[in-house]
Amino acid sequence: MCAFYVVTLMEVLIFSWEYPPRVVGHLADYVRELAAQLVKNKVKAYVVTYHDFLTGGYDEADGISTYRVTNPVKTHIGVLTWVLTLNQEVERAAANIYYDRSGRQISLIDVHDWHFIPAAVTLKKGLGLPFVYSVDSLEEHRSHGANSPFNMAIKSIEWLGMYEAERLIVKSDWMRDEAYRVYKVPLEKVVVVSPKSGGWVKHVLGVYQSLVGGGGVV
């Protein structure tokens, strides 16, 4: 059945706060691999990410269009304020892709982790673009269950993402159960795609296809 998924060319926006060459954890390489695999499957992938020094940069390598934005507010008191002001730049880059590059042909957004969820939500509400929230990690585990106002703020953004997303893609059964335990996200919204499994990209594509209206199979 795999071959049938890719008949319709789809254009997808991918948001990630890390992307090579700026590697913070393992998410950067995962997103890069995802984008590359999508391109191989005839999906047009636009990646919007952060970079301090390659800012304003647009490059197209191996079929992946990458847009790097920087924070217009240089001074910050923490990662929370840093992320929240950066989101408007993500919106700007995404809107420019939507109007100019894609000719309004973007089908959906795939947002990785919490950082750019505010941008995905505004774009959904404003332009009617559905989004997938790909969960790599959750604040619950990163901060070992701490509930300071800072942690609560990040959790509230994760909650917003789960509430507004059409689908959650998580990487393990354990994470699916945790998303349910911490946020009570309806399980029918959650799809487990292990990046270690064979055909994982087809699986991701299947999730995308299900949001675009099920078209594409001839």
Partner 1 sequence: MGARDLAVMMLSWEFPPRIIGGISPHVYYLSRSLARNGVKVYVVTCDFPGAPSREVVDGVEVFRVDSYKNPSPDFASWVYLMNVNMQKEAAAIVRSVGGGVDVFHAHDWLVADAGIGLKHVFRRPLLVTVHSTEIGRRNGIHFDYERMIHETEAWMTYEAWRVVCCSDYMVGHVRWAFGLPGDKLVMVPNGVNADVYARVGGEDLGGFRLRFALPEEKIVLFVGRLVYEKGVHVLVNAVSKVLSKVNAKFVIVGNGYMKEQLSGLIRGLGLGHKVLFTGFVDDDTLRRLQKCADVSVVPSLFEPFGIVALEAMAAGSPVVVSDTGGLSEIVEHDVTGVKVFADNPESLAWGITKVLLDRGYADWLRNNALKKVHEKYDWDRISQQTKDVYSNVLGEYSKSTWA
Which H or E element spans position 61?
strand 58-61
Q: Is 152 in the site for partner 1 (CB under 8 A)?
A: yes
Considering only 56-64, 74-82, 131-139, 202-210, which stretch makes contact with partner 1 by CB under 8 A? 74-82
Residues 6+ apart with CB under 8 A from 172: 192, 194
Q: How many residues of this chain interact with partner 1, rule: CB under 8 A? A: 35
Q: Is 182 in the site for partner 1 (CB under 8 A)?
A: no
Q: Is 150 in the site for partner 1 (CB under 8 A)?
A: yes
Cα 114 from Cα 153, distance rounded (Å): 11
Give the residue from 120, 140, 142 showing the smallest Cα distance to 131. Answer: 120
Q: Is 157 in the site for partner 1 (CB under 8 A)?
A: yes
Options 42, 51, 76, 202; binder of partner 1; rule CB under 8 A: 76
Q: Is 145 in the site for partner 1 (CB under 8 A)?
A: no
Cα 115 from Cα 119, distance rounded (Å): 9
Alpha helices in 146-199 (DSSP H): 149-164, 173-183
Q: Is 105 in the site for partner 1 (CB under 8 A)?
A: no
Q: Is 77 in the site for partner 1 (CB under 8 A)?
A: yes
CB closer to partner 1 out of 118 and 179? 118
Q: Is 128 in the site for partner 1 (CB under 8 A)?
A: yes
Q: Is 25 in the site for partner 1 (CB under 8 A)?
A: no
CB closer to partner 1 out of 121 and 169? 121
Q: What are phi and psi of 36, to 5 degrees?
A: -60, -45
DSSP 195: T
DSSP letters, 74-127, are ---SSHHHHHHHHHHHHHHHHHHIIIIISSS-EEEEEEESSTTHHHHHHHHHHH
Options 36, 95, 182, 212; binder of partner 1; rule CB under 8 A: 95
Options 92, 101, 189, 202; binder of partner 1; rule CB under 8 A: 92
Options 16, 49, 87, 107; binder of partner 1; rule CB under 8 A: 87
Residue whose pair of structure tokens reads 């800012």 in the numeric block: 55
Give the residue from 12, 31, 18, 39 showing the smallest Cα distance to 134. Answer: 31
Options 103, 145, 149, 214; binder of partner 1; rule CB under 8 A: 149
- In the complex, the residues that contact partner 1 under the rule CB under 8 A are 72-78, 80-81, 84-85, 87-88, 91-92, 95-96, 99, 118-119, 121-123, 125-128, 148-150, 152-153, 156-157, 160
